[in-house]
Amino acid sequence: MNISIRLPNRRLPEDDDAQKLSLLWVLPLLVLVTAVALVYAYTTIRAQNLSYEVSRGLETQRELLETGRRLRVELNNLRSPGRLEQEASRRGLLPPKPEQTRGLK
């Protein structure tokens, strides 16, 4: 008669050490990969935001240059002798009499 005893499977102590050693390498590697991914995402988003800011700055610059050009044209129109004479006559001003002027030496 044959009697057999079944023993539950047990892990050998070497396997536990090997698994712990494997986890010691995998965990830092996962942390490193995650850190690299986060840095890459941050730099990409930062570069995109800076690109938008540059675009807005260039648009503002174009608008200001156009405004400056329009103001220079308006200033030249306001300073024109013909317009000044027309505005003076509209307000009732007369050209100065000869005795009201002085000559420069």
Mean pLDDT, the chain, as a whole number? 88
b/e map 80-101, b = 16+ CB within 10 Å: eeeeeeeeeeeeeeeeeeeeee
| Helix, coil or strand: residue 4 | coil
pLDDT tens for 50-64 read 999 999 999 999 999
- What pLDDT sits at residue 10? 66
Close Cβ partners of 83 (under 8 Å, ≥ 6 residues apart): 77
pTM of the model: 0.54
Q: 77 near 83, Cβ under 8 Å?
A: yes
